[in-house]
Amino acid sequence: MSNPLVSVIIPHWNGTEVLSECLESLVQTAYPNYEIIVVDNASTDGSPDWVSLNFPQVKLVKNDRNYGYAGGCNRGAGAADGEFVVFLNNDTVQDHHWLDGLVDFMNLNPNVAAVQPKILNFFEREKFDYAGGAGGWLDVLGFPFVRGRVFLEREADEGQYDKMRPIFWASGTAIMVRKYDFETAGGFDETFFAHQEEIDLCWRFHLMGREVWSSPGSVVFHKNAVTLPMFSRQKQYLNHRNSLLMVLSNYSLPLTLYLTPIRLALEFVALVYSLVRLDMNHFFGIIQSLLWIITHLHVVWKRRRRVKQVRQVKDKTVLRRLYWGSVVFDYYIRRKKRSAEIVRE
CA dihedral 46, 123, 188, 309 (to 10 degrees): 170
Is residue 228 one of the residues assigned to a domain? no
Q: In what order do the strands lie in the sheet with 136-138?
A: 136-138, 144-146, 149-150, 153-154
Are 213 and 237 members of one domain?
no
3-state secondary structure of 245: helix
Task: Assess if residue 1 is contained within a domain.
Answer: no
Is 247 part of any domain? yes
pLDDT average, residue stretch 3-9? 97
Q: How many domains does the chain have?
A: 2
Q: Is 155 inside any structural domain?
A: yes
Find, among 290, 246, 299, 284, the residue nearest to 266 by Cα.
Answer: 290
Examine the domain organization and report whether 279 and 315 are in the same domain. yes
Measure the N-to-C terminal CA separation of the chain; round to a whole number of Å: 30
26 with 117, same domain: the answer is yes
> Average per-residue pLDDT in the chain?
95
Predicted local distance difference test score (pLDDT) of residue 152: 85
Distance CA 202, CA 193 (A): 16
Report the alpha-carbon distance of residue 37 to residue 7 in Å, rounded.
Answer: 7
Final residue belonging to a domain, choices 169, 187, 222: 222
Per-residue pLDDT tens for 108-141?
Answer: 999 999 999 999 999 999 999 999 899 999 999 9
Label the pairing between strands 136-138 and 112-121.
unpaired
* Contacts with 172 (C-beta within 8 Å, 6 or more apart), sequence order: 69, 73, 87, 89, 131, 132, 197, 198
pTM of the model: 0.96
Same domain for 154 and 281: no
CB atoms within 10 A of CB 229: 11
Domain limits for position 253:
233-342
CA distance 95 to 227: 22
Q: Is 64 exposed, middle or buried (0-12, 13-18, 19+ CB in 10 A)?
A: exposed
Indicate which CATH number applies to the domain containing 65.
Answer: 3.90.550.10
Task: Give the pLDDT score at 33.
Answer: 98
Cβ contact 338:155 at 8 Å: yes
User: Are 202 and 273 within one domain?
Assistant: no
User: What would the pLDDT profile of 27-68 be if each residue is shown by its tens digit?
Assistant: 999 999 999 999 999 999 999 999 999 999 999 999 999 999
Other C-beta atoms closer than 10 Å to the C-beta of 315 total 17
* CA–CA gap between residue 277 and residue 329 (Å, rounded): 18
Residue 273 and residue 209 share a domain: no
Helix axes 47-54, 16-26, angle to 10 degrees: 30
Query: Are 260 and 116 members of one domain?
Result: no
